Amino acid sequence: MSGWRIKRFIRPPAGSRDMKLCVIGAGYVGLATAVMFGKLGHEVTVVDVVEPRVRTVNSGKSPFYEPPLEKELAKLVKRGMLKATTSASGAVKDAAAIFICVQTPPLPSGKIDIRPVKTACRDVGKLLRTADGYKVVVMKSTVVPGTTESMVLPLLEKYSGKKACEGFGLCMNPEFLQEGSAIKDSLEPARIVIGSMDKRSGDLLMKLHAPIKAAKIRTDLTSAEMIKYASNTFLATKISYANEMANMCYLFGIDSEPVLRAAGFDPRIGPLFLKPGLGYGGSCLPKDVNALKERARRAGYRSRLLTALDAINESQPGEAIRMLEDAAGPVRGKRIAVLGLAFKGGVDDTRETRAVPLISSLLAKGAHVVAFDPMATPNFIRLMPTIEYASSAAECLKGADGCIVQADWKEFRDLGRKEFSTMRVAILVDGRRSLDPAKVEAAGARYLGVGYGLARGKGR
């Protein structure tokens, strides 16, 4: 982010700063929200139930790998603009607005687990009972359409003993940040959505976001919830579309890269999220697709599109294995290197990472898997404790009969002859199309990018 922009953010217009704010949940969304408002000149208290997380934040460190966020967090903690605590009481009492940013993880049924939101609402509601003045509660956690009105609102009213719009305000302000660029996305969002029950609470959120230059959409609570799902399911659709096209290109003997790149020049299509790969993972897209599908089912609508997205995404890791086997024979009994275990490069988050289905399929086919990630290995070991782990990309490649790149870490782009020459069979399947094919081939390895046509003669 350029210097002038940062300066602009730390000197917000008069009247929009110096509020006390409370953020419930010190995760990606909670800390990005807290840092954003801290940079805008507000005093923020972050509440989390996990004591070590609170200590980490108070020492100016991020509990997860997100370097720009950590840098800003450290500055704000030092200036006394941001602190963390396990006790919500003081924080809620003093705050003009309370942002609920707790997790809503997926359940096996496809629904989301709403219990953390319920607990947070109960805790905030109880504290609102004795708090003075009009405070606005803001839902930032992703919840299916109708949740804020049918669950958050009654819980807050029950535990506070106050009526919404009279004793407190209620907003739904979905978050669109991407991990790996959390701070940039918070300070320079494509849009800000403010769903509110009443004008007064929506106006407060408008005032808080006033220094941020972005389209601001004011709407009702349920529409705000749906905007988040409409956005994320569209991104999942775009990725799955790219994967479908790439799978066909592979069989037609052509490379999907120029095909999709050319398609992306059309402003109606656009280039982003139009790259083939092993499918979408992370804490949002898979969960949001399933949760909306399930919410629609409960309303009597069976979404064929969302069902198809899930199916395409699940089969995509298998495409990389198929490419490897088409080129180098069955993986049974072979040593296969998997580079990248996080759900994408640049983060240590392994929630819904495609590395799990990828490695599970390789193991089911009888391969021996050796894996490496620059940051996510400790998190991944909890998901798959029994596979072999390497301590560097170079070590991972040593003696391998092939490699699949699962996450687009920058450092994998620097691999060259020195590392490839130690492989038993120097062949790389680039599951994210993030390496330079010419550079890989010049360094003596065979390059296969997902969606990179099967050699003509062998076509089906």
Q: Which is nearer to ligand NAD, 26 or 390 (CB)?
A: 26
Record the tokens describing residue 49, joined without a space. Answer: 């139930």
The window from 54-62, 97-105, 250-258, 418-426 that contacts ligand NAD (CB under 6 A) reads 97-105
Q: Give the distance between the most distant pair of CA atoms in the chain.
A: 77
- Contact region with ligand NAD (CB under 6 A), list: 23-31, 75-83, 126-134, 297-305: 23-31
Q: What are phi and psi of 75, to 5 degrees?
A: -65, -45
Residue whose structure tokens are 């299509």: 269
The DSSP letter of residue 414 is G
- Alpha-carbon distance 350 to 360, whole Å? 15
**Does residue number 290 form part of the binding site for ligand NAD (CB under 6 A)?**
no
128 makes contact with ligand NAD (CB under 6 A): no
Interface pattern 167-196 for ligand NAD (x via CB under 6 A): --------x-x-x-----------------
Is residue 29 a contact residue for ligand NAD (CB under 6 A)? yes
Q: Helices (DSSP H) in 28-181: which residue ranges?
A: 28-39, 51-58, 67-78, 88-94, 115-130, 147, 153-160
Q: Quick check: 240 binds ligand NAD (CB under 6 A)? A: no
Q: Which one, of 309, 310, 312, 329, lies nearest residue 321 by Cα? A: 329
Q: Which tokens is 266 given? A: 């059309």
- Binding segment (CB under 6 A) for ligand NAD, from list 70-78, 119-127, 325-333, 438-446: 119-127
Q: Which of 148, 283, 290, 406 binds ligand NAD (CB under 6 A)?
A: 283
Residue 284 appears among annotated catalytic residues: yes
Whose Cβ is closer to ligand NAD: residue 27's or residue 211's?
27
Question: Which two tokens mark 172?
Answer: 């739904």
Question: Which of 249, 284, 396, 403 is labelled catalytic?
Answer: 284
Q: Looking at beta carbons only, is 227 or 323 nearer to ligand NAD?
A: 227
- Given a contact cutoff of 8 angstroms between Cβ atoms, the answer to whether 4 and 206 are in contact is no
Type of residue at 84: A
Residue with tokens 């609170």: 54
**46 neighbors 240 (Cβ within 8 angstroms):** no
Judged by CB under 6 A, how many residues of this single chain contact ligand NAD?
27
Q: Which stretch binds ligand NAD (CB under 6 A): 112-120, 144-152, 330-338, 415-423?
A: 112-120
- 318: three-class secondary structure by DSSP: helix
Q: Which is nearer to ligand NAD, 16 or 231 (CB)?
A: 231
Q: Considering the rule CB under 6 A, would residue 230 count as an interface residue with ligand NAD?
A: no
352 is a site residue for ligand NAD (CB under 6 A): no
Q: Which of 17, 23, 28, 197 binds ligand NAD (CB under 6 A)?
A: 28
Rounded CA-CA distance 423/443 in Å is 12
Name the closest residue to ligand NAD (Cβ).
Answer: 27
Q: How far is the CB of 102 from ligand NAD (least distance, A)?
A: 4
Q: Which residue stretches of 95-220 are H helix? A: 115-130, 147, 153-160, 182-187, 199-209
Q: Which of 1, 10, 50, 217 binds ligand NAD (CB under 6 A)?
A: 50
Tell me if 48 contacts ligand NAD by CB under 6 A.
Answer: yes
* C-alpha closest to that of 40 among 71, 77, 1, 12: 12
Q: Active-site residues: which are they? A: 284
Contacts with ligand NAD, residue ranges (CB under 6 A)? 24-30, 47-50, 53, 101-104, 116, 119-120, 123, 141-142, 175, 177, 179, 283-284
